[in-house]
Amino acid sequence: MNDLLPLYESVQERMVAAAKRAGRSPEEVSLIAVTKTHGPETVRDAVAAGMMLFGENKVQEAAWKIPLSPSCARWQLIGHLQSNKARHAVRLFETIHSVDSIKLFDTLESAARQAGTRPEIYLEVNVSGEVSKYGATPEATFPLVEHILEHAHALTLSGLMTMAPFDPEPEHSRPHFARLRTLRDELEARFDITLPHLSMGMTGDFEIAIEEGATDVRIGTALFGARPIVKRPAADADTTSGML
Ligand SMILES: *Cc1c(COP(=O)(O)O)cnc(C)c1O
């Protein structure tokens, strides 16, 4: 018996209940288990409990963890991506949630062509306007989508992602999630495309996100417990490229 199983089951039950409250089918919502700061043994236990999709927020950390983890695990990048890590990211991840500029898109597109991989991408949108957040402004997504539709061959644009500002009251996230959904609808109408994925909701607010249309919820703490506070070198920048 695996310690993670009851936690996984309880998160799944809460996801199903939220979907039903919103009149949605529970199968529309995927759980991305966020294993950042946890080692490959946690991934092994999570796979044994039935989890399949895993989210990491740092390329460097994922690069050592993924080869040590069960090969059936599927990996998604949910955190900010620096252009200089793009060539690793397109090999490690099947989905990248954090594209927020034309420059990053161009770098990823050429990296994926070189690597011969075909990741899906989501646009990260800063719907709240919080200055500390990554992500394109809602207005900037229009020229970004236009550029991507013209230039994407290896990459496929399939959704939007956002993080609500930290707030202990989950209900306060609702307008931000609703804004991401309406932005998705506006982009679909403007460009005559479909953007099926809405990546939104974390441990504190995933039920609200599901009620507002989330298809991908990114959950760490509710599954794996509180993360240790790790002191990291500033910006985990270029010192890592040699290690990868
Ligand atoms: C860490 C992280 C999560 C998961 O956060 P929890 O509150 O532990 O569920 C989700 N999304 C992103 C982008 C993260 O960095």
Q: For each of the chain's 244 residues, which pLDDT tens digit applies?
A: 579 999 999 999 999 999 999 999 999 999 999 999 999 999 999 999 999 999 999 999 999 999 999 999 999 999 999 999 999 999 999 999 999 999 999 999 999 999 999 999 999 999 999 888 899 999 999 999 999 999 999 999 999 999 999 999 999 999 999 999 999 999 999 999 999 999 999 999 999 999 999 999 999 999 999 987 765 555 444 444 444 4
Say yes or no: CB of residue 203 within 6 Å of ligand 1.
Answer: yes
37 CB under 6 A from ligand 1? no
What element of type H or E holds 19? Answer: helix 4-21
Closest CA to 125 of 194, 176, 55: 176
Ligand 1 atom nearest the C-alpha of 32 is 10
89 contact partners, CB below 8 Å, separation of at least 6: 59, 77, 81, 96, 108, 111, 119
Q: Ligand 1: does its nearest atom lie under 6 Å from the Cβ of 79?
A: yes
CATH homologous superfamily of 4-243 equals Alanine racemase (3.20.20.10)
Task: Quote the ligand 1 centre to 219 CA distance (angstroms).
Answer: 6
Answer whether 0.75 is exceeded by the pTM: yes
Q: From the CB of 184, is ligand 1 less than 6 Å away?
A: no
Closest residue to atom 7 of ligand 1, CA basis: 203
Both tokens of 137, joined, read 């402004």
